A and B are shown apart, each in its own frame.
Chain A
Amino acid sequence: MSEILAELDAMSRRRFLGSLSMGLGAASLSQWPGALPAVAAAGPAPPLLLPKAKRVIFLCMAGGPSHLETFDHKPRLVELDGQPMPESYTRGMPIAQLQGKELRCLGSRATFRQHGESGQSISDYLPHIATCADDIAIVNSMVTEQINHDPAHTFMNTGTIVPDRPSMGSWVNYGLGSLSENLPGFVVLTSVGGRNPQPIAARQWSSGFLPSKLSGVEFHGQGDPVHYVANPPGITTDCQSNLVDAVAELNRLRAETTRDPEIDSRIAQHELAFRMQASIPELMDISEESPETLEMYGAVPGDGSFASNCLLARRLAERGVRFIHLYHRGWDHHGGLKQYMDVCCDKCDQPTAALLKDLKRRGMLEDTLVVWGGEFGRTPMSQGGGSDPGRDHHIKGFSMFLAGGGVLGGVTHGATDELGYDAVQDVVHVRDLHATMLHLLGLDHQRLSVPHQGLDVRLTGVESARIVREILT
């Protein structure tokens, strides 16, 4: 209750009344006997299930990593390497850059081995993640609906490509509230490094029509960690503190004459901002971590790398941030697949494994859901010529993995056909992934909805979504 009140406190009155008027009232009222109508109506339905996870770390491999070089072993595709792709697979299917081109099979460039006690099949490109085989659930039957980067990210994050919809991090914070007094509930980190990266839009972490306080806040590994978090030049912390005090005092005097409750909120936000000016730089300073930990991640303080961001993700998780979204760009391998898989895996494999192990040894993996994957996969067909061709975008079947937070380790779920084209067994749609994530957080995807422009909008959309129970503990 106090958490929700705190939420409300920070919410604008107008928005708060706006959400009242959006018709949330009745259902929540009936479940919250005795609650103030205003309070009950302002938040979503409370969690109804026993949550397994308290927070999410989503490792987005932006650009779309190849499932055929990571987790989806397809010997038949290797046999057909260089042969024409059977037309039965591709006729009438959406195709991105290979539109109108001759389609030929490209056998996997990777060697696959069995790992861990579970014997999960993982490629040699990911030697570190392979050591976590028994802690992760691999899904080899993902499908999405969008074949270009920008809309595919939007779809993965919001469940639709209709503009102005909330990102999943915003949904989760809307549903559960924040656990941190000094930090936003949804933090985004994008790493530097990698090759000619695809752009990534702030839309991907927007709260859409939900209050803007639920938007993801981007933290930067280099420069000011958050916009305007540093004092103006020449202003010391003491000076700033004097300023905040004087402003609070003047605002309070005004509140006495106007009885405007919004002023209290303004005072609180100024004070929170002042605390953030201290807490965020402290949080972002990973140099206090032990050399062993830094080495485990491969992190160098201040380098803005994916490794540093993975370590920051753990620090954010420790401090109560609900949803931590990491982007690493550069997985868009239309050509030079071998060369660039080396580059990307070199930057991402070790830190990912280190994050899983670090969370585990601190006892945090059990209530932290970690998700790894891109916005789509890549074609079994080759793209481009030369000694090192690539693969085009592919949405009919690809791989992701989940770990921690109530997810079974050591299982592989679903499968594509023998060429790795179509997901054919236990297909997991993006909305199924969303439903499963929400379920682990104790949220019912059907009930986490907000009326907007005439529709009860859900992260999982209007189609029915399925919780992937097979991979849950």
Chain B
Amino acid sequence: MSFSTFILASLLLTALPSGDPLPVDFTRDVRPILSSKCFACHGPDAEAREADLSLIDFASATRELAPGVAAIVPGDLDASEAWLRIIDDADPMPPRRAHDPLSDDEVATIRRWIESGASYRPHWAYVEPTEIARVSSNDAGVVDRLLDDRHASLGLLGSDAADPVTLLRRLSFDLAGLPPSPADVDACLALPPDERLPRTVDRLLASPHFGERLAVRWLDLVRYADTVGYHGDQEHRVWPYRDWVIRAFNAGMPFDRFTRWQLAGDLVVDGDPDLPEGDRQDALVASGYNRLVQTSHEGGLQLKEYRAIYMADRVRNTSEVWMAATVGCAQCHDHKYDPYTHVDYHAFGAFFADIDDEAHLRNPYDGYNTSPTRREPEMQVTTPDARRRLEDIAQRRATAQRRLQAAETAADETSPAWERMMEARIAAGGDRTQTWVDDVLDTGGTERGDWTFHTDPAIPARHGTAYRVQRSDGLVQHYTVDTDRRIRVEPDSVLEAWIHLDPTDPPAAVMLQAHADGSWEHRARWGDDSISYGRTADDSPAYRRMGDLPPTGGWHRLEVPLAEIGLTEGVDIDGIAFTQFGGTVRWDATSVRQPGPAPPEVVEALRRPRGDRSAEDERVLAAHRRSSDPAVDAAAAALATIEAEREHVVSTLPTTLYTRRLETPREVRVLPRGDWLDESGPMVAPAVPAFLGEVPRRDPGNPRADRLDLADWLVTPASEGGVGEMTARVFVNRIWAMLFGEGLCPSEEDFGGQGRPPTHAALLDLLAVDFIESGWDVKALVRRIVLTDAYARSSVPVGDTAALDPANLHYARQTRHRVDAEFVRDIALSAGGLLDTDRGGPSVKPPQPAGLYRHLNFPMRRYEPDTDDAQWRRGVYVHWQRQFLHPMLKAFDAPSREACVATRSVSNTPLAALVLMNDPVFVAAARGLARRVLADDSTASDRDRLAHAWFIALSRRPSESELMVLERLLQKSRRDFGDMPENAITLVDAAPRGESTASPHGRPPTEFAAWIQTCRAILNLHETYTRE
């Protein structure tokens, strides 16, 4: 007998005045015993079956095993072979070697069950909701009635409603993960009593913090984290998925759509050309769900092994998240307790065989040892902010384009005057110089390295006003490439650059390099051969040896005839690189000198009389005219600047992991015993566990079902061929658990035979059916539950309730529990007035102990904490390093997010106490709280201020005894810091970077420190972090 049934049974026994035991209930009483004690050998796994006996259903259990012998003979104990074996002292069942005998109570239950006819009922989780649920789901009071009926039958006394402040705090923690502000408390209490609850619920459901609160639960389930998890645990980029989850909850996205987008956002986009652009992007971001598996690119990995590992991870996660099912247990053999077969496991995994995600497994040495690392495919995400900027740029760009066009037209009209000007210039002779960079990098395109331009009176620029300084101990290269500005190579073009070698720190070599036609194989180097890029044994255009370095200590011009580095007439240069080995080099203006006052073809065309010019001549002249007209030049430059801005915005857009479908899915074979080296098993196509039926295909012509079919099946009601009611039960149960501390089915993670049956099956069914009928409306579900009387009850038990129902399985009272780790942080920061409620964006890095990542490698990691307001962001945005989670989060039981977690444990450890006492973030919060209460009216008494601090953190006034404890601590602390003022200064000044250290109102540090110390006490209280 499992303990839940034990409690239940004993409660029932206690409750019944007659002392008659209740009729045996198969689901509640018998199946748990069979499952835990018998099914390992007589259960669903055919291969492990002993004595050819299965006890999984009535037919199997009562089948004739030998003439006249059956395991169970309904109503006839002595004829039942199973019973005879159970009571056989010499050779009992379960066998002694199992070390798991039946208890006396369990034996008694089996006895009564056989005697009363040995009826079987299908497992509760696999049957449709009862008719009652459908009939009564619209009844507003039905939830409380169902619960109250149970209390009556069990002799439990329901607690009264909690006081309004407790209820306000409970709602704030449950729906926003934050304590109410003092203003919230006052506003709530100012309302008429019957409006307080509904108005508060409305406010919180509309608050953007609702999504943050629900996301904490959801992100645990889907194991969202900022790092890959295995081996080097490098960062991967998927935070837009986290933001999408938060926005989806806030926007009230129906849960069925929420499901489809995550499992198959890519297929949703493919199948719906009418989907608005914003939704298309969101659906793809949501499909990042499939990419949240832990990944590895450890050297020496085996592709097929990791393919099997990823598949197992996905099967486990998807089945746990949406079905509360442990399909993953059937990886090596049929499930021991639930009807999931070994083939079901692989067929379920085959749904995910079209996810294109193996680049890092196929080429693990391809430069992945960076952090962040790459995990192809990744998509760019246009954030709302970026979208606004891009729209603005698009407008300005259109204007600039019009201006350029106008300038060009104007240039055409001034043609005769221009020709006269050109003729004069040709007559005068001379060369043209096209400057590449000077004083500023304005070429457009992308750049690498330091492009700061310096001025230094000791070494004036050779050209313009400033130059770049490149310094290194070894090989260093700065470049720009894919530039908007391009320079056309003419027959005798020469690349020139001004250079100054530092006499005290000369380089070994310098190199100029040009990019054209997609190639960098155009190099000229001075000095020795220490620059390895493109180094060839023989002199070649890809590594042209130009001779010795110029003398140090002055400006010299490097010159490279472009033909020598393989750049021929007509080619466009669109990139240039400056390389050196060691030393300090100043690089000034770089340009291309074109011989003659105009390109040869222009000179030729101009020489021809107008009437004799060919169409080609006209084209050449028009092009040159435009390119040399200052107005056109200015308009073109303006456009280029805008284009560069656009390029910059686009290139800095965040990227995120998403799902891209393979045209041909990977083949999936049944792996005998889960052994990936054994390829002898049959191939399987995607399918849901066979006992649950078949997945309807959207397109019956499609030879295989896909992820969108799976998602549809999960959220389609049974009447239409899906398992929507099962999915709804799983989700509804989790919401209930979030609001009551324990689910209606207490095993939130496992609805299977080894889980615990629901304590309130009808209520669970009712809410599930209602949830579907509401259009999978999550906010409506939450609202319905929090507006019940049951939710509002005090968590203080009355009568014998605590003894009768210690685990509060029947909700005669509310539950108390410490809030989740993220909210512990949020509460402290909020009390300290530090909390930054900005939403979304890259994960934030609050201070953490030095050296936490010392065991990471590939690459070695250095944690750079945020120093701006980002360090005070909410816990849900904190960087999630799977292998080394922030110790504060870990101490309060935040999971590593390596696997699905439906229920966090709630521990109470010394490590958590150390965080509250000593983590600098919590000390900063205490400093903030002290500053808040010292900031106001300077005539307030100590007691007023202490009460104020207390109210900020706990939403209530302190009692007289509480106030006395605080006062004593304050006085003691004044003495302590008065004796050792240097300690006060240290405490006051020990603020993390970015936090103000000034004492409020110029109070001496000893006074401020005493208040900080007293506020630390408030931020160490049990009550501060307890949802009651």
Proximity bits, B790-833, A CB within 8 Å = 1, else 0: 00000111000000001100000000111000000000000000
Asked if A263 CB lies within 8 Å of chain B CBs, one says yes
> Could you tell me the distance between the alpha carbons of A24 and B3 in the complex, rounded to whole angstroms?
7
Contact call A234/B973, Cβ cutoff below 8 A: no
Asked if B420 CB lies within 8 Å of chain A CBs, one says no
Interface residues of A in 212-247 (CB under 8 A from B): 212-213, 217, 220, 222-224, 226-236, 238-240, 242-244, 246-247
Residue from the list A228, A244, A446 in contact with B849, Cβ < 8 A: A228
Contact call A26/B966, Cβ cutoff below 8 A: no
Contact call B883/A196, Cβ cutoff below 8 A: no
Interface residues of A in 154-168 (CB under 8 A from B): 161-164
A64 to chain B, nearest CB (A): 11
Residue from the list B305, B749, B816 in contact with A258, Cβ < 8 A: B816
Proximity bits, A1-25, B CB within 8 Å = 1, else 0: 0000000001110110110111111
Asked if B660 CB lies within 8 Å of chain A CBs, one says no
Asked if B309 CB lies within 8 Å of chain A CBs, one says yes
Residue from the list A24, A260, A444 in contact with B816, Cβ < 8 A: A260
> Could you tell me the distance between the alpha carbons of A196 and B855 in the complex, rounded to whole angstroms?
11
Contact call A229/B908, Cβ cutoff below 8 A: no
Residue from the list A226, A228, A393 in contact with B300, Cβ < 8 A: A393
A197-B896 in contact given A227-B914, A236-B980, A455-B336 (Cβ < 8 Å): no
Contact call A234/B911, Cβ cutoff below 8 A: no
Contact call A213/B741, Cβ cutoff below 8 A: no
> Could you tell me the distance between the alpha carbons of A200 and B884 in the complex, rounded to whole angstroms?
10
Asked if B968 CB lies within 8 Å of chain A CBs, one says yes
Residues of chain B contacted by A226 (CB below 8 angstroms):
911, 914
Interface of B is mostly: loop
Residues of chain B contacted by A262 (CB below 8 angstroms):
816, 818, 908, 1022, 1026
Contact call B1/A25, Cβ cutoff below 8 A: yes
Interface residues of A in 427-466 (CB under 8 A from B): 444, 446-447, 451, 453-456
Asked if A206 CB lies within 8 Å of chain B CBs, one says yes
Residues of chain B contacted by A272 (CB below 8 angstroms):
910, 913
Contact call A243/B849, Cβ cutoff below 8 A: no
Residues of chain B contacted by A203 (CB below 8 angstroms):
882-883, 896, 898
Contact call B1/A26, Cβ cutoff below 8 A: yes
Proximity bits, A79-123, B CB within 8 Å = 1, else 0: 000000000000010101101000000000000000000000000
Interface residues of B in 31-70 (CB under 8 A from A): 32, 36
Proximity bits, B295-328, A CB within 8 Å = 1, else 0: 0101111100100010001000000100000101
Among B97-105, B516-524, B629-637, the stretch that binds chain A is B97-105
A interface residues, tally (CB under 8 Å): 102
Contact call B908/A242, Cβ cutoff below 8 A: no
Contact call B855/A161, Cβ cutoff below 8 A: no
Asked if B1021 CB lies within 8 Å of chain A CBs, one says yes
A234-B898 in contact given A203-B883, A243-B917, A243-B1016 (Cβ < 8 Å): no
A97-B300 in contact given A14-B906, A453-B750 (Cβ < 8 Å): yes
Contact call A228/B915, Cβ cutoff below 8 A: yes
Residue from the list B301, B898, B984 in contact with A163, Cβ < 8 A: B898
Among A50-58, A143-151, A309-317, the stretch that binds chain B is A143-151
Contact call B987/A242, Cβ cutoff below 8 A: no
A96-B300 in contact given A10-B908, A228-B914, A239-B1013 (Cβ < 8 Å): yes
Asked if B125 CB lies within 8 Å of chain A CBs, one says no
Residue from the list A151, A192, A243, A266 in contact with B969, Cβ < 8 A: A243
Residues of chain B contacted by A29 (CB below 8 angstroms):
103
> Could you tell me the distance between the alpha carbons of A444 and B895 in the complex, rounded to whole angstroms?
29
> Could you tell me the distance between the alpha carbons of A456 and B966 in the complex, rounded to whole angstroms?
49
> Could you tell me the distance between the alpha carbons of A21 and B32 in the complex, rounded to whole angstroms?
12
B112 to chain A, nearest CB (A): 17
> Could you tell me the distance between the alpha carbons of A192 and B857 in the complex, rounded to whole angstroms?
13
Asked if A339 CB lies within 8 Å of chain B CBs, one says no
Contact call B329/A238, Cβ cutoff below 8 A: no
Residues of chain B contacted by A147 (CB below 8 angstroms):
300, 302
Interface residues on chain B, size class: 35 or more
A223-B850 in contact given A240-B917, A269-B913 (Cβ < 8 Å): yes
Interface residues of B in 839-876 (CB under 8 A from A): 849-852, 854-858
Asked if A41 CB lies within 8 Å of chain B CBs, one says yes
A155 to chain B, nearest CB (A): 12
Among B173-181, B229-237, B709-717, B935-943, the stretch that binds chain A is B229-237
Asked if B532 CB lies within 8 Å of chain A CBs, one says no
B468 to chain A, nearest CB (A): 35
A270-B898 in contact given A199-B232, A246-B965, A254-B1023 (Cβ < 8 Å): no
Asked if A131 CB lies within 8 Å of chain B CBs, one says no
Residue of B nearest to A451 (CB): B754
> Could you tell me the distance between the alpha carbons of A22 and B756 in the complex, rounded to whole angstroms?
8
Asked if A198 CB lies within 8 Å of chain B CBs, one says yes
Interface residues of B in 658-695 (CB under 8 A from A): 677
Proximity bits, A246-275, B CB within 8 Å = 1, else 0: 110111011000111011011001101110
Residue from the list B106, B807, B913 in contact with A21, Cβ < 8 A: B807
A159 to chain B, nearest CB (A): 14
Residues of chain B contacted by A202 (CB below 8 angstroms):
883-885, 896
Please name 14 further chain A to chain B contacts, defined as beta carbons within 8 Å, in addition to the given A197-B857, A235-B983, A247-B1017, sorted by A numbering.
A17-B806, A25-B2, A26-B103, A27-B101, A99-B302, A148-B296, A212-B909, A229-B918, A254-B1021, A260-B1022, A269-B909, A273-B914, A454-B335, A456-B100
Cβ contacts A to B, 14 pairs, < 8 Å: A20-B3, A20-B807, A26-B102, A26-B103, A99-B300, A227-B914, A228-B915, A233-B986, A235-B1013, A238-B976, A247-B1020, A270-B1020, A454-B338, A454-B753
Interface residues of B (CB under 8 A from A): 1-4, 6, 32, 36, 99-106, 230-233, 294, 296, 298-302, 305, 309, 313, 320, 326, 328-329, 335-338, 677, 741, 746-747, 749-750, 752-756, 795-797, 806-807, 816-818, 849-852, 854-858, 882-885, 887, 890, 893, 895-896, 898-899, 901, 903, 905-915, 917-920, 923, 959, 961-962, 965-966, 968-969, 972-973, 976, 980, 983-988, 990, 1009, 1013, 1016-1017, 1020-1023, 1026, 1028
